[in-house]
Structure 1
Amino acid sequence: MTGAAHGRFVVVPAAYVFLLRGAEAHTEVLLQYRQNTGYMDDHWAAAAAGHVERGETAYDAARREALEEIGVTDIALEFVTSMQRTRGGEPIDERIDFFFTARAWSGEPRILEETKAAELRWCRLDDLPDPVVPHERAVLDAVRTGTTTAYSTFGF
């Protein structure tokens, strides 16, 4: 019997990678412009992100997504926050998102899933494009202000 049959929610895990570059006052983040995904299309989002697969750690998922989506390897991941997320009481699966930053990697980031991303762009943390996926924007704002915490929530 599934969790839904018991009236419990199902937690869906995902990993996000924000590549960063530049000095602290002028830090830039690499974002992708989403298209044709069915979720948050026409929004700016992490250059690499996706579901954590069965038997995979969030770190492994972040490395895999960075390779699959933007072609970078040897990524030096730094854990930022875990975010428990919902959509204000809507009957959807609850989410647990694991956010990482990286300032070192091998390879030049490029779009590898051309049907899902229209553009990659380096953007200053203090001048992000509009719109950014709202829960990702919350994390980027916390990274910019140095106010990240190990655990955060969104949508409750």
Structure 2
Amino acid sequence: MAQDRAADPRVGVGVIVIRQGMVLMGLRQGSHGSGTWALPGGHLEFGETVEACAVREVREETGLEIQHLHAGPYSNDLFEGRHYVTLFVIADAPDGEPRLMEPQKCSQWRWCRWSELPQPLFPPVDTIRTSGYAPPGAA
């Protein structure tokens, strides 16, 4: 019996980009989670490593180059009729300022303190924050 592939869980990758104790947040628009604040990231593509996805998504969305990647937490969320397992990656972006590379998907980028994230949050980000997780090196 064939399964409804649209109902299958998707794998997302969220990147906690840290600079000087701040994390990079973007205001989503035009897709699921529109009007919420999220980390850069996206869908893991077939055959892609989580790290390669993190580098690609941050570059595509912000123009920034990240380094010193390491694994963070994960979340398992049901929202807007979708099921996402989101793998978080922690990285540094020592140079440059984020640009709106995909203005149809994100209206602004902002450096924020983890303890003072803008609201409302994209559900996977809210899940890890409310779990008590705090990224190393972020205030």
- Give the TM interval when normalised to the shorter protein: 0.7 to 0.9
2:126 to 124, 137, 142: 137
Quote the Cα distance in structure 1 between the aligned partners of 2:37 and 2:115.
Answer: 15
Report the count of equivalent residues.
134
1:44 is aligned to 2:33: no
1:80 aligned residue: 72
1:96 aligned residue: 85
CA distance change for structure 1 residues 3 and 75 in 2, over 3 Å: closer, same or farther?
farther
2:17 aligned residue: 19
CA distance change for structure 1 residues 123 and 93 in 2, over 3 Å: closer, same or farther?
closer
Give the root-mean-square deviation of aligned CA atoms: 2.4
CA distance change for structure 1 residues 73 and 55 in 2, over 3 Å: closer, same or farther?
same
Gaps of 5+ in 1: 147-156
Provide TM-score, normalisation by structure 1: 0.73
Structure having the higher Rg: 1
Q: Percent identity among equivalent residues?
A: 30
SS at match of 1:120: strand
| 1:145 CA drift (Å) | 7.6
Gaps of 5+ in 2: none
CA distance change for structure 1 residues 79 and 93 in 2, over 3 Å: closer, same or farther?
same
